[in-house]
Amino acid sequence: MFDLRESDKKKFGEQLYHHYRKQGNHRWDTAVHRKEDGSFYVVFRHSFSKKNAEGIKKTQVRDEKIIFAENERILMNAALPEYPDTDILRKSEFFKGLKG
């Protein structure tokens, strides 16, 4: 089975922040990752889960937006998409703790 978390770790580095919200079968995840070189990736992902005829739950990624920032200062000033999750990220202790 495909593990999205491990895939993200390989692509984007260590996960520093994560939150999600759900509504019915829909889930919106926001994660901030840091690579070893100090660069950051912010991943906004919308997924949808549904059981198939055999009763096995299948999850599909419906939308994914990835923001790259070379360092904390650029991350703090990045043009993030206008999603409800962006406000949650900007108000988080993680984001407030960035030094820039």
Percentage of the residues of the chain whose pLDDT score is greater than 90: 81
Max intra-chain CA distance, the chain: 50
Contacts of 95 (CB under 8 A, 6+ apart): 17, 76, 89
The per-residue pLDDT for range 71-82, each reduced to its tens digit, is 999 999 999 999
Q: Which pLDDT score is estimated for 99? A: 85
- Output the domain CATH number for residue 42: 3.10.450
The number of folded domains in the chain is: 1
Structural domain for 47, as ranges: 4-96
Q: Pick the closest to residue 80 from 59, 94, 65, 64 (CA basis).
A: 65
